[in-house]
């Protein structure tokens, strides 16, 4: 990790990072210890994880709560999902690409659930609170990233556009809807104390998305349909 402590005073030491980069580096460095110890983490723990003196933390962040809140928001930044999505091999079979998208989304949601519990403990900042700025910026970023993720889904589907029964944009929107539904199931499972075993597997969701839920060999005849209710003579 780049040097993020006090300015160098001896030859051979790395130059200190610019303020914004130092802030980002600290936020990344402290995430593991925050996730491990929650709000009970001490400033000494945080400083040790970041490799800086405690005083340095408070030259960068207003207080411990500010640091914790910004670390959580950095950890759940939805744009982080774009990096692994962009590494998916476009030459891989379509089903494999969809499975990878599902796995990436599910992993992000599982990690976010753990962080959101901590954010809930910290409380939601009021509009006039100094902590409201980063929170509001996060909400704006989430909306922007949503469009970027949809664009990435279109990119991943494009090699097979000729095979699709619907326009590319509609298929991408359907896939995005399925990702949201899967995320909700993952959150519900975590809140109920489940281990995620009740959440449909990525490969099953991908197969359903690509083939639908109706057996292509099933008869479409009316006698095979479930009756709406009892009929009267």
- Mean pLDDT of successive 10-residue stretches along the chain, which has 233 residues: 43 61 93 93 95 91 91 88 93 95 90 83 63 60 79 95 92 92 84 74 90 68 56 54
Find the CATH number of the domain harbouring 71: 1.10.10.60
Do residues 171 and 195 both lie within one domain? yes
The whole-model pTM stands at: 0.69
The answer to whether residue 226 sits within a structural domain is no
Do residues 118 and 195 both lie within one domain? yes
Do residues 144 and 42 both lie within one domain? no
- Could you tell me if 202 and 102 are in contact, meaning their C-beta atoms sit under 8 angstroms apart? yes
Do residues 193 and 87 both lie within one domain? yes
The answer to whether residue 7 sits within a structural domain is no
Tell me, what's the pLDDT at 76?
87
| Domain extent for 26 | 13-75
Tell me, what's the pLDDT at 18?
77
Tally of domains within the chain:
2
Task: For residue 34, give every residue at least 6 positions away whose Cβ sits within 8 Å of its Cβ, in sequence order, or none.
Answer: 41, 46, 68, 71, 72, 118
The answer to whether residue 220 sits within a structural domain is no
Which residue, among 54, 73, 74, 76, has the nearest Cα to 64 in the 3D structure?
54
Do residues 114 and 22 both lie within one domain? no
Do residues 164 and 201 both lie within one domain? yes
Tell me, what's the pLDDT at 1?
45
Do residues 40 and 133 both lie within one domain? no
Do residues 120 and 159 both lie within one domain? yes
Do residues 62 and 85 both lie within one domain? no
Do residues 54 and 127 both lie within one domain? no
Do residues 130 and 70 both lie within one domain? no
Task: For residue 15, give every residue at least 6 positions away whose Cβ sits within 8 Å of its Cβ, in sequence order, or none.
Answer: 3, 8
Q: Counting Cβ atoms within 10 Å, is residue 103 exposed (0-12), middle (13-18) or buried (19+)? A: middle
Tell me, what's the pLDDT at 85?
94
- Could you tell me if 61 and 43 are in contact, meaning their C-beta atoms sit under 8 angstroms apart? no
The answer to whether residue 230 sits within a structural domain is no
Do residues 88 and 201 both lie within one domain? yes
């Amino acid at each position: 990790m780049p040097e993020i402590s006090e300015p160098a005073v001896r030859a051979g030491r790395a130059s200190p990072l610019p303020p914004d980069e130092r802030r980002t580096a600290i936020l990344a460095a402290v995430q593991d210890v925050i996730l491990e110890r929650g709000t009970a983490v001490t400033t000494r723990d945080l400083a040790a994880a970041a490799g800086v003196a405690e005083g340095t933390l408070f030259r960068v962040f207003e207080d411990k709560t500010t640091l914790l809140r910004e670390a959580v928001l950095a950890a759940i930044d939805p744009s982080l999902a774009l990096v692994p999505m962009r590494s998916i091999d476009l030459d891989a079979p379509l089903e494999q690409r969809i499975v990878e998208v599902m796995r990436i989304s599910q992993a992000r949601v599982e990690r976010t659930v753990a962080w959101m519990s901590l954010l809930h403990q910290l409380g939601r900042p009021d509009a006039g609170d100094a902590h409201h700025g980063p929170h509001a910026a996060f909400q704006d970023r989430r909306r922007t990233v949503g469009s970027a993720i949809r664009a990435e889904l279109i990119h991943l589907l494009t090699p097979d556009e000729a095979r699709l029964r619907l326009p590319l944009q509609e298929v991408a929107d359907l896939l995005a809807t399925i990702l949201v539904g899967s995320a909700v199931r993952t959150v519900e499972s975590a809140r109920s104390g489940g281990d995620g075993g009740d959440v449909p597997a990525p490969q099953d969701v991908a197969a359903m998305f690509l083939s639908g839920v109706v057996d292509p060999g099933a008869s479409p005849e009316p006698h095979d349909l479930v009756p709406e209710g009892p009929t009267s003579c």
